[in-house]
Amino acid sequence: MQPHRLTREDARRVAIGAQLLSAARPAGIVETVYGLTVVNIEPTAAIMPSADHILWSRLGWPYASADLQRAFEVERDLFEWGGFYRVMSDLPLLRHEMSARPAYAEAREWLAANARFRRDVRDRLRAEGPLHAAEVPDTAQVPWRSTGWTNNRNASQMLEILVTTGEVAVSARDAKGRLFDLAERVYPDDLPDVSAQDAARERSERRLAAFGIARPKGIRQPFEPVDVGTVGETAVVEGVEGEWRVDASALGLLDSFAPRTALVSPFDRLVFDRDRLRDLFGFEYLLEMYKPAAKRRWGYFALPILHGDRFVGKLDAKADRKAGVLRVAAIHEDLPFGATVAADVDAEIRALAQWLGLEVTGLADG
Q: How far is CA 325 from the centre of its chain?
A: 26
Instruction: Over range 266-283, report the average pLDDT.
Output: 96
Q: Where are the alpha helices (DSSP H) in 282-323?
A: none
The pLDDT tens digits of the residues spanning 50-64 come to 999 999 999 999 999
Helix H or strand E segment including 125? helix 115-128
Q: What's the rounded Cα separation, in Å, for the pair 363 and 316?
A: 12
The pLDDT tens digits of the residues spanning 313-328 come to 999 999 999 999 999 9
Residue 75 confidence (pLDDT) above 70: yes
Q: Are strands 325-333 and 359-361 parallel, antiparallel or unpaired?
A: parallel
Domains in the chain (CATH in brackets) are 4-76+197-361 (no CATH), 92-185 (1.10.10)
Residue 101 confidence (pLDDT) above 80: yes
Sheet holding 4-6, edge to edge: 4-6, 233-237, 244-246, 213-214
Q: What's the rounded Cα separation, in Å, for the pair 305 and 85?
A: 24
Output phi, psi for 359, to 5 deg: -90, 155
pLDDT at 170: 98
* Higher per-residue confidence, 218 vs 167: 167
The pLDDT tens digits of the residues spanning 201-215 come to 999 999 999 999 999
**Predicted confidence band of residue 354 (pLDDT cuts 50, 70, 90):** very high
Residue 365 confidence (pLDDT) above 70: no
pLDDT at 321: 94
Coil vs helix vs strand at 256: helix
Instruction: Over range 13-31, report the average pLDDT.
Output: 96
* Listed range (7-11, 22-26, 82-86) with the worst mean pLDDT: 22-26
Instruction: Over range 226-239, report the average pLDDT.
Output: 96
Residue 148 confidence (pLDDT) above 90: no
Instruction: Over range 186-205, report the average pLDDT.
Output: 95
pLDDT at 256: 87
178: exposed, middle or buried (C-beta count within 10 Å: 0-12, 13-18, 19+)? buried
pLDDT at 161: 97
User: In this prediction, what percent of the chain has a pLDDT beyond 70?
Assistant: 99
The pLDDT tens digits of the residues spanning 238-254 come to 999 999 999 999 998 89
Mean confidence (pLDDT) of the chain: 95
Residue 44 confidence (pLDDT) above 80: no
Instruction: Over range 228-236, report the average pLDDT.
Output: 96
Q: Where are the alpha helices (DSSP H) in 224-337?
A: 253-256, 269-272, 274-281
**Predicted confidence band of residue 364 (pLDDT cuts 50, 70, 90):** confident
Residue 147 confidence (pLDDT) above 90: no
Q: Which residues pair with 84 in a beta bridge?
A: 40, 81
pLDDT at 222: 86
Kindly provide the b/e burial profile for residues 42-71, where b requires at least 16 CB atoms within 10 angstroms of the residue's own CB.
Answer: beeebbbbbbbbbbbbbbeeebeeebbeeb
pTM of the prediction? 0.95
pLDDT at 151: 87
Instruction: Over range 327-334, report the average pLDDT.
Output: 96
pLDDT at 1: 78
Coil vs helix vs strand at 214: strand
Q: What's the rounded Cα separation, in Å, for the pair 310 and 314?
A: 12
